[in-house]
Structure 1
Amino acid sequence: MPVPLRPLLACLLATLPWPSLAGEVPDPLALAQLDGFALGVEAAGKFSGVVLVANGDTVLFEKAYGLRDENGDAPLQAGDRLNFASAGKMFTSVAVLQQVAAGKLGLDSPVGQVLKDYPNRAFADGVTVRQLLTHSAGAGDIEELFGATHSAERARLRTLADMIALHGGRAPEFTPGTQQKYGNYGYIVLGRMVEVLSGQDFESYIRQHVLAPAGMTRTGFVDCSDPAPDLAAGYVEVDGKRVRNCATLPARGFSAGGEVGTARDLLRFVQALNAGKLLPPALLAEATRTQREFMGLGFFATGYGEGVPERDFRWGHGGSADGICTDVRHYPRTGETVVVLSNKDAPACYAVSNLLHAQWKGP
């Protein structure tokens, strides 16, 4: 029987002899403790996946835990591909910001400037790109893409245009810009705007303008049922049985997330952003600055506020769905990047990704 997660985490945290680290690089003992912590959560049946820690461009730690498929016996490998869930929204954000950098779009441009035939005029005229990126547009969600009871709807919703045709008639949930509510539909709208502005379908655009320049050769859009041996499988309980999460999730990634790839590729994404390969540095700085609550322009930008050390600020994105937990975080002050990909439910992957930064004694 699996061990309850919270008591296990508390026990592990209470017994770890936290070391004092010199400079900005964790010593071998700190990394060994991270390894032990991940092994403990794995033993509790709450975690399997890949953990990567880098300092700048140098990978300090990379290891896989658990099984590639809980119904098999093949162990996960560090180079295996896992589902990114909502962490894939960062690719959409970059695609949109590339349109801004090219002068095709402004952050405060309304949706209707690009999607001229958008059905609901209050949404088209009142919702801006900035509000969509920060989840403050009142765009809502698209429930038909998730859950075992929506398989027929998912089969019909093949394109971003299909999804907008389904929900484009509804008005914003609240006056745009007055609240923040996380959801997926706004990123469908953003993805469709990229298609119209670029003249490419969303997948082609991301492959050509985000993944390729970043050197992310093992990341892309893959059917959930693809039998490739390096794809990790996630599971969910439906009607009392454990089944593949393909039964409750979109068949492949789209502009709200769900691409698959490796931890190394996500590190390459962070490196490419920092090197100016995907966005102009000034625009990246604006995108990863806290705009509202926990959000930058499509990136989580959190760990800030009165009394919070500057070293704790980070940008990136997390994600979770049935049989998926993802956390990508970059701490600019210390130079650390932490990537945790899991084919188990949240929240265990977040506990793993949280662990090391507390010891990372950067300036």
Structure 2
Amino acid sequence: MLTRRDSLRLLAGAAAGVAALPALSTRPAAAANRVWTVTGQSSSSLKPFDDTLKSYMQARNIPYGSLAVLRQGKLVLARGYNWTTDTFQAQPTSLFRLASLSKPVTATAIMKLVQDGRLSLSATVAPMLGLSTALDSRLGNVTVLNLLQHLGGWAVRTQDAPNYLPDPMFSDFDIRDTLGVPLPVTQANIMQYVSTTRRLDFDPGSTFWYSNYGYLLLGKVIEKVTGLPYATYVQQSVLSPMKITRMVQGRTAQSLRRSSEVPYYSQYGGTTVLDGSGAWVPAPYGAFNLENMAAHGAWLSTAVDMAKFTTIFDAPGLLTQPSLDAMFAPPSNYNHTDPSWYGMGWSVRPVNGSRSTWHSGSIAGTTTLMVRRWDELSWVVLFDQRDDPSGLGYDAEIDNLMHQAADSVPSGSWPSTNLFPSYGL
């Protein structure tokens, strides 16, 4: 049974490729030296959200966070939170790595192509992308819809399923050694490696297993169909129509951090995958290759921009009602005794004749969560850390706390103002 909490763990765990690395790397300032500051706009009735972020971040010594809250499509809270001694201050317009919140963005771009008649959900991916099916003929049956719903047939090793192979998106050294190519490995290298060395673990369409690699393939499908770089098509066809201009693809190296981008922290480090130097680096800055994760984990965004993105799904506009319905529909293998399912880029749960949809993201240096509740409340919360010596949890815990904060705001005290115009949205 795919419960809400299980979904959050699964979505986060899929990107956990550096979680067990043994050495301490980037250290934020000691808690005793930190100062708590808040930027942005809110109202006194929404203080439970500010209180929640303060207690959550201080318990885990998280330096930077950001939160955007919507009610009935209006932005009612836009905050940056700082628990740090650094001169950099997180604003509502500060950029954070989204990690797997990138997947709903990619799914929306795919559905836009389908809606425009340029792509079919039943299109098979291997012939489109020139993937070899010699090792496993079932690869030739994997469709665009299978990839969107994580039904492509690939499994990856998790704590609860240790007998599967590791996520290929975090297998740079094995890919290098198997193919005899230099670091950094490319997306083309990853595709060759998977299609020629790994048989599918399940028949396509039969079994849900969260797959970063499947979304890499969706990014390549977008490029194949449009003739444009993945990010260019997304920015032109999905983001710009929503007036979202700050979202960009992130870069791995610390030296390439953007001026409005938060720094990332982890207690772990690893050998760089960006070159063959063997250098030990902080986990967020080279223990994985963010550029290769373009379609499943590489977007940078502000909380307010992602909040605007969520409004695509509130009513027909960029996407038609049939497109919206298709994105949230249960997959063909859905077990109707389960309370929720993974649609196209969103987890979905029917509630009170409506539905709640959500996605989380987690990678070294990043924890993110995007929720659209059945009662027309939505929020996006972003952090620059996902692990610390306290051992406290991150993704599922902030999910529960955000619901508690929302439920503690009296129904008649929600502000009616809309802050989106303040941020050019």
Sort the TM-score into its range (normalised by shorter chain).
0.7 to 0.9
Q: How far does residue 222 in structure 1 lie from its aligned partner after superposition?
A: 2.6
Q: How does 1:283-362 map to 2 (within 5 A)?
A: 283-291=323-331, 292=334, 293-302=340-349, 304=350, 309-310=352-353, 313-331=355-373, 333-345=374-386, 346-347=394-395, 348-359=397-408
Q: Which moved more, 1:32-41 or 1:180-189?
A: 32-41
CA distance in 2, matches of 1:329, 1:154: 40
Q: How many residue pairs end up in the alignment?
A: 329
Q: Report Cα offsets for 1:167-215 as digits up to 9, x if no partner.
A: 1223321112221111201111111111111111212211211221221
TM-score, normalising length from structure 1?
0.79
Q: Does 1:250 align with 2:289?
A: yes
Q: How far does residue 114 in structure 1 lie from its aligned partner after superposition?
A: 2.5
TM-score, normalising length from structure 2?
0.69
Task: Give the match's secondary structure for 2:322.
Answer: helix
The answer as to whether partners of 1:214 and 1:268 remain within 8 angstroms in 2 is: yes
1:238 to 268, 292, 306: 268
Q: How does 1:207-286 map to 2 (within 5 A)?
A: 207-224=235-252, 225=254, 226-238=256-268, 243=282, 245-252=284-291, 253-286=293-326
Task: Give the match's secondary structure for 1:168.
Answer: helix
Q: What is the CA RMSD across the aligned residues, in angstroms?
A: 3.1
CA distance in 2, matches of 1:102, 1:155: 38
Q: Which moved more, 1:32-41 or 1:98-107?
A: 98-107
CA distance in 2, matches of 1:51, 1:236: 21
Structure 1: any 5+ residue segments left out of the alignment?
A: 3-25
The answer as to whether partners of 1:163 and 1:188 remain within 8 angstroms in 2 is: no
Task: Give the match's secondary structure for 1:339.
Answer: strand
Task: Give the match's secondary structure for 2:324.
Answer: helix
Instruction: Among all aligned residue pairs of Structure 1 and Structure 2, give the percentage whose two residues are the same amino acid.
Output: 21
Q: Report Cα offsets for 1:238-279 as digits up to 9, x if no partner.
A: 369993511223233501122101011111212234354432
The answer as to whether partners of 1:80 and 1:232 remain within 8 angstroms in 2 is: yes
CA distance in 2, matches of 1:150, 1:217: 37
Q: Report Cα offsets for 1:125-171 as digits up to 9, x if no partner.
A: 2212222111122134573543897897894333x433212212233
Q: How far does residue 227 in structure 1 lie from its aligned partner after superposition?
A: 3.6
Q: Which moved more, 1:204-213 or 1:141-150?
A: 141-150
Q: How far does residue 361 in structure 1 lie from its aligned partner after superposition?
A: 7.9
Match of 1:194, as an amino acid? Answer: I
CA distance in 1, matches of 2:288, 2:246: 21
Q: How does 1:1-363 map to 2 (within 5 A)?
A: 28-29=44-45, 31-47=46-62, 48-67=64-83, 72-112=86-126, 114-115=128-129, 117-120=130-133, 122-140=137-155, 143-146=167-170, 155-158=183-186, 160-169=187-196, 170-224=198-252, 225=254, 226-238=256-268, 243=282, 245-252=284-291, 253-291=293-331, 292=334, 293-302=340-349, 304=350, 309-310=352-353, 313-331=355-373, 333-345=374-386, 346-347=394-395, 348-359=397-408
The answer as to whether partners of 2:66 and 2:81 remain within 8 angstroms in 1 is: yes
The answer as to whether partners of 1:126 and 1:176 remain within 8 angstroms in 2 is: yes
Structure 1 residues 123 and 102: alpha-carbon distance in aligned structure 2, compared to 1, 3 A threshold? farther
CA distance in 2, matches of 1:242, 1:75: 24
The answer as to whether partners of 2:169 and 2:213 remain within 8 angstroms in 1 is: no
Structure 2: any 5+ residue segments left out of the alignment?
A: 1-29, 32-41, 157-165, 271-279, 335-339, 387-393, 412-425
Structure 1 residues 139 and 360: alpha-carbon distance in aligned structure 2, compared to 1, 3 A threshold? farther
Q: How far does residue 63 in structure 1 lie from its aligned partner after superposition?
A: 1.7
Q: How far does residue 220 in structure 1 lie from its aligned partner after superposition?
A: 1.0
Match of 1:233, as an amino acid? Answer: P
The answer as to whether partners of 2:49 and 2:402 remain within 8 angstroms in 1 is: no
Match of 1:286, as an amino acid? Answer: A
What's 2:36 paired with? Answer: none
